[in-house]
Each structure stands twice: as C-alpha cells, then as structure tokens.
A and B are shown apart, each in its own frame.
Chain A
Amino acid sequence: GQQLNQSPQSMFIQEGEDVSMNCTSSSIFNTWLWYKQDPGEGPVLLIALYKAGELTSNGRLTAQFGITRKDSFLNISASIPSDVGIYFCAGPRIIQGAQKLVFGQGTRLTINP
C-alpha cells in the first residue's frame, strides 16, 4: 500500500540539541500532519500543513510542507526531556469519501540529559 518513509528511524541526542527529521512519499499529499506519541498513549497532533511551501511553527517545533508535495520536515529546537517520544508524519488519502490517514513508521527520539 501507500507508505510514508520517515528518517531517521531513531535519534539519540543530548538535551539542548536541535533535531531534524523528515518524511517522504512517492506520491503527492495535499496535507501533511505531524503527531507525537508517548508510550501507551494516542498520537497528539503537533502541526498541520495545508499548503505547499508552508512553514509553520508551534513553540520550539517548526514544520515545512515540501514544494514538491512529496515531503515534509519537522525541526525541534533546543530539545528538552519531555520531547522524548515517537514522531509520526501522516497524510490523508481520500477513499470513497473517507479521509484515511496514512502514517510513516515513526522516528523515535531519545534524549540524554
């Protein structure tokens, strides 16, 4: 099926470092969504991108909707311990009226204090 490829799969960083991760697809998406998931919890929406080229910030998080519509990037500045978790990108596919979200495999972020 359609897949989103996230990289890196995991990151081990020091507290205070900046983080960059990306998500690519072989096909076009008209919306990109970034979620964070803590262990045992559901994904929490971080940023939604609706327009190619769009750059959107949410506190220390910044995400960009790639011009080709086939990729998106998420950056976290000055990481803190609560940033630990799994970050998923997702894009909607319309199937018989349903906005089915397709997810990447996730980027697991670990922070050493």
Chain B
Amino acid sequence: DTGVSQDPRHKITKRGQNVTFRCDPISEHNRLYWYRQTLGQGPEFLTYFQNEAQLEKSRLLSDRFSAERPKGSFSTLEIQRTEQGDSAMYLCASSPPGLAEETQYFGPGTRLLVL
C-alpha cells in the first residue's frame, strides 16, 4: 500500500540557495496539490495540477517558486534564492478522479529550514 511520498523529508539550506522537492502521488490519482504549513497554522494552498496541467497558483507562490508535473505523475516544487521566510513544511497531496475528488491524501511533508 503506497501512499503519497515526498523527498527529502528534511532540508537545511543557506539563504540564497535553490532547493527542489519531489512528490510522488498515489498512482491512480490524477490531481496533485502543494501546500505550505508554518508552525501553529493549518496548511495553506500553493498550487494544483490536474494531470500535467497546472491549473491554479496561489498568490502565496511568488516568482521564486515554480512547480512542474511533467508527465502527470510525480511533481517537483523548486524554490529559487531561498529566504528565511520560506522556512516551513511543504506538503503534497493527491486526490482521485470522480466523485471523491475533494478528498485529498497528504504525504509526510518536506520540512525546510533556511538559515
């Protein structure tokens, strides 16, 4: 039974460096979401893919952030020129097609610390 997986689980980087995170959704799920969660808060939506198409981006996603899902399977989230304010947990979720499409299943997250 494979759920949503994310890699790496933890990342420590220096300010100004670029980082890339990977998400592998549940295999039959065509919808993939990225969220960001800061300490003491619930997750906040960043972006959404249906298959390989990126259909929505939050205003939280500045120009330094880019996400891809090249073949409609795994996705990557890249942050360029990281800032200390980017420190957070980055969560990926996926959902199946059909009636339960709003039921999202989350991965374990990538915790980013920018020094």
Contact = CB atoms under 8 A, between A and B. Distances in A.
Nearest to B42: A103
Contact of B108 (A42, A45, A105): A42
Interface size class of A (residues with CB under 8 A): 20 to 34
Contacts, number: 74
A49 to B, nearest CB: 10
Chain B, interface SS category: strand
B41 A105 contact: yes
A99 B48 CA distance: 8
Nearest to A9: B40
Nearest to A96: B56
Interface in A71-113: 88, 90, 92, 95-106
Interface of B: 4, 6, 31, 33, 35, 40-45, 48, 50, 55-56, 58, 89, 91, 93, 95, 100-109, 111
Interface of A: 4, 31, 33, 35, 40-45, 48, 88, 90, 92, 95-106
